[in-house]
Amino acid sequence: MKILIQFLICGCISASAQTQFYFYNDRYYDRDFLFETGVSAGLMNALTDLGGNSGSGRKGMKDVNFSNNQVCAGIYGLVHFRSMVSLRFQYTHGRIRAFDSILQNKNNPSTGRYERNLSFESAIDELSLSFQLYPIHIFSKSEKPPLLSPFLSVGVGIFHFNPRAYLNGDSYALHELHTEGEGFAEYPERKNYALFQSNWLIGCGLRFEVSPKVTLRMEIEYRVLLTDYLDDVSTSYIEPKLFKKYLPAESVLAAYRLNDRRGELDPAHEPAGGDKRGDPNHNDSYFNLEIKLGIVLGREKIK
């Protein structure tokens, strides 16, 4: 983290100081440090306890259900050193969702996931700082950057989420309902989860030089999270009677209904605590695939 901050400071200082110029092509000069600013748009999805593909759940990206893709967009700014490395600051807004009901028509058994009948959706707002490495530029002997170059990305971020679910046409914030007894004395190991969390970003992409002033990027970024409550599902069902003990009267019925929705598919079902609701052994995650359009600042036209 210290290295990333030092790199950003050096870039800002260098931009205002006299720097070495060299030829980008026969019409433009380049300089050691360049700035780029732009916009991004793409798709966002999540890996949580809910939804997914058939069976008990596959590992990693194999369990992604791409029909849950949602639109995301963002803005970014970066400082670029000799087309070899860059440091980027970005704001991203998107949405994620998952539904157990999506498994209804799967050929393979869903091992109780469809019957669980839970769902969620959430807006995602994220600020991130990431470091990009361009291998071709680093090992190339030519100063002129290639038009198409792959890059690797790693960084840190802070994001806000707020899982919600629909009941009889109304949307409810699940965090406020403590559906798994978070903060209840009867479940001391289940702490209230924060709606602001940190994450780690890992990604890769391609950068295309449209012109000396315009770049186009395609990038996929995966977030490693420190929470399993992105979808408000992690462990087991709690005793329903506890909602009346801890929640305001106007929230009790919604918490009771949204905690255990198996009865909507099986009228004979009787809610009770202790049954498996989620898998606490694996944290949730989300990722996005984006196209970025950027404007390069710092290249000067040869007079």
Give the model confidence (pLDDT) of 249-284 as tens digits.
Answer: 999 999 999 999 999 999 999 988 899 999 999 999
Q: Which helix (H) or strand (E) holds 8?
A: helix 2-16
From CA 124, how far away is CA 286, in angstroms rounded? 10
Q: Which of 132, 129, 157, 130 is nearest to 225 (CA)?
A: 157
* DSSP letter for each residue of 230-262: TTS--SB---TTHHHHHS-HHHHHHHHHHH--G
Q: Which of 290, 277, 293 is nearest to 115 (CA)?
A: 277
Q: Bridge partners of 301?
A: 28
For the segment 138-167, what is each residue's pLDDT rounded down to a tens digit? Answer: 776 666 667 889 999 999 999 999 999 999
Between 84 and 45, name the one with better pLDDT: 45
pLDDT at residue 185, rounded to an integer: 96
In a domain, 296, yes or no: no
In a domain, 171, yes or no: yes
In a domain, 38, yes or no: no
Q: Are 76 and 89 in contact (CB under 8 A)?
A: yes
In a domain, 23, yes or no: no
In a domain, 174, yes or no: yes
pLDDT at residue 264, rounded to an integer: 94
For the segment 207-226, what is each residue's pLDDT rounded down to a tens digit? Answer: 998 988 899 999 999 999 99
In a domain, 276, yes or no: yes
For the segment 27-79, what is each residue's pLDDT rounded down to a tens digit? Answer: 666 778 889 999 999 999 999 999 877 655 555 566 788 889 999 999 999 99
pLDDT at residue 1, rounded to an integer: 52
In a domain, 154, yes or no: yes
Number of separate domains in the chain: 1
CA angle 54, 59, 61 (to 5 degrees): 85
Domain carrying residue 143: 2-10+47-58+98-207+219-285
